[in-house]
Amino acid sequence: MIKMLIFTGLRNIELARVRLQDVDLDQCHIRVVQGKGGRDRTVLFPTSLRGKLLQYMQGAQARRAVHLCESNRLGLYSTRRIRQLIHAYAQAAGIQKRV
């Protein structure tokens, strides 16, 4: 999730709404539907992220998830939950600044 935000420049709400079908691993891009300004756009990600993303997506598909970022109970992550996770990972990494 953090790599997706860093490498793509997606906003929290955009990441929360990405569906598995919106990710094209062959072309290394993600289709963002109704992003900022209500516009659709395509966001590229590096090929180095493809393998990890494939593994993550296979796990999500095994859980019958629809969206890329869903909880184990198949509920969408809220933007607040995404921020909480990033904050927790930053603290675990010893980053003291506000992330």
Task: Report all structural domains of the chain as residue ranges with CATH numbers, in order of start.
Answer: 2-92 (1.10.443.10)
- What is the residue-level pLDDT of the chain in tens, covering all 99 positions? 788 888 888 988 899 899 999 999 999 999 998 877 778 899 999 999 999 999 989 998 988 889 888 877 768 888 898 888 889 988 898 887 776
Task: Return the pLDDT at 38.
Answer: 79
Please say whether the dihedral angle defined by the alpha carbons of residues 57, 62, 13 and 37, taken in this order, is positive or negative: positive
Task: Return the pLDDT at 20.
Answer: 94
Task: Return the pLDDT at 69.
Answer: 85
Question: CA-to-CA distance for 26 and 21, rounded, in angstroms?
Answer: 12
List the beta bridge partners of residue 44: 29
Task: Return the pLDDT at 29.
Answer: 94
Radius of gyration of the chain (CA): 14
Task: Return the pLDDT at 3.
Answer: 86
pTM for this one?
0.79
Task: Return the pLDDT at 76.
Answer: 85
